[in-house]
Structures are given as structure tokens and as C-alpha cells.
């Protein structure tokens, strides 16, 4: 069993020492030193700044500054539900900006900020194929550093237009087999008589 011993402060390092305490003692254990100081192995030494959470406050203000102030940070929070700080890796020809910060866990360390013209109408189909590969860890080389071959049969990237006025709507060239009922075409003689 461990019981809290001392809190020590050394410069900016803060730590805890624990005293080892036995519940039952035998003659062999009486000869050993039960009051030896052990540093709890799972405890990390913390600086004063970390202990008082000043590093979190500093990171908060640095994130606000990186995103262009309080107003722009609130706008980004509204659009993306998260405000991050990272290195701008590149921008595609549609205005999307791609960032990376390896302090975040894998899967969350690369992200996109969509072009301002789309506001809240952004979706994954607005990401070109070369950036999609980098964003989803298919390659670690961003398109700004890699030269991808462009063949003449390749067409330019186009986002999915479903739900907009430019959506693809197929039409049929065959006449319909069932005629729909039009209420304005019925005559008064065809209407049922009420008794």
C-alpha cells in the first residue's frame, strides 16, 4: 500500500513521493526499511506552468491568434465545430486550405478548411483526388511537393452537384405506360352524382 508522502518542488518541476506502508509485519519485514521513499512510477513530473494549467491557457491564446482573432475563431468554430492550430501545407485551385499538426493523434492531424465561398455547404466531394490521397494517409507527400502526371484523357475535378440546380437529372425518351390523372381534364358528366 502507498500513502502520500511529500510534494517536492525543484525549479519548475513538481513531483510527489510516496511512502511504502505494509499492512502486516513479520520479523523479516521489521528488519527492512519500511519508510523508504518511492517515486510513483505512473506519475509524470510536472512543471509549475503545467500544474496551474498555464500551458493550456497559453495554447488557447496562441490558437485564437493563429485563427485571426476572436471573431474569426468563433466563425471557424461555427463552421467546423473545432478550432485548431497547424501548419498550412497547401491550397488547391478551388480555394481549399490543407493543414497538418503532428501534435494531434493520427487521423486528426491533417484537416481541410474549405473555401469561404461555400460557407456551410461543404462536403467531401469538393476535395480533388490528389489532396484526398494526402488527407487520408495514402501518401505522405503532399501535392505541393509531388509532381503527378496529367494525361490528356483526364477531366478536371468537379464536385457532386446533387441537391443543386446543376444536378444531373436523367430523362426518358419513351412515352409513359401509365397516364396520370389530371383533375382539370375531367368533365362534369364523368363526375359521380350524389343522391
Give me the domain span that covers residue 110: 86-166
pLDDT score recorded for residue 95: 92
Is 7 exposed, middle or buried, given 0-12, 13-18 or 19+ CB atoms closer than 10 A? exposed
Q: What is the CA radius of gyration of the chain?
A: 33
**Is 154 among the domain residues?**
yes
**CB contact burial 98-110 (16+ within 10 A = b; e otherwise):** bbbeeeeeeeeeb
Q: Is residue 20 part of a domain?
A: yes
Which pLDDT belongs to residue 59?
Answer: 87
* pLDDT at 13 (0 to 100): 41
Residues 91 and 160 in one domain: yes
Give the number of domains in the chain: 2
Q: Is residue 141, in this structure, part of any structural domain at all?
A: yes
Q: Is residue 26 part of a domain?
A: yes
Same domain, 91 and 41: no
User: Is 79 part of a structural domain of the chain?
Assistant: no
With respect to residue 177, please indicate whether it lies within any of the assigned structural domains. no
Rounded to an integer, what distance in angstroms lies between the CA atom of residue 170 and that of residue 52? Answer: 63
pLDDT, averaged per 10 consecutive residues of the chain (195 residues), comes to 44 44 47 48 66 84 90 90 91 93 90 90 89 92 86 88 87 83 66 61
Strands 2-10, 13-20: pairing is: antiparallel
> Is 122 contained in some domain?
yes
pLDDT at position 10: 44
What whole-number distance in Å separates Cα of residue 176 and Cα of residue 151?
A: 43
Alpha helices by DSSP H, 67-194: 70-80, 129-135
Amino acid at each position: 500500500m502507498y500513502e502520500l508522502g511529500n510534494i517536492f518542488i525543484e525549479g519548475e518541476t513538481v513531483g510527489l513521493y510516496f511512502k511504502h506502508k505494509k499492512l502486516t509485519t513479520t520479523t523479516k519485514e521489521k528488519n527492512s526499511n519500511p519508510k523508504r521513499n518511492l517515486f510513483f512510477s505512473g506519475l509524470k513530473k510536472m512543471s509549475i506552468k503545467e500544474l496551474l494549467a498555464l500551458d493550456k491557457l497559453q495554447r488557447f491564446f496562441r490558437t485564437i491568434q493563429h485563427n485571426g482573432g476572436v471573431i474569426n475563431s468563433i466563425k471557424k468554430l461555427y463552421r467546423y465545430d473545432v478550432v485548431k492550430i497547424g501548419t498550412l501545407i497547401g491550397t488547391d485551385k478551388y480555394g481549399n486550405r490543407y493543414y497538418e499538426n503532428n501534435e494531434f493523434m493520427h487521423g486528426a492531424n491533417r484537416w481541410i478548411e474549405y473555401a469561404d465561398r461555400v460557407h456551410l455547404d461543404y462536403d467531401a466531394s469538393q476535395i480533388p483526388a490528389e489532396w484526398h490521397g494526402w488527407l487520408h494517409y495514402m501518401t505522405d507527400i503532399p501535392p505541393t511537393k509531388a509532381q503527378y502526371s496529367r494525361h490528356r484523357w483526364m477531366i478536371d475535378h468537379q464536385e457532386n452537384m446533387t441537391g443543386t440546380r446543376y444536378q444531373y437529372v436523367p430523362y426518358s425518351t419513351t412515352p409513359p405506360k401509365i397516364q396520370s390523372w389530371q383533375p382539370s381534364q375531367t368533365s362534369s358528366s364523368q363526375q359521380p352524382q350524389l343522391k
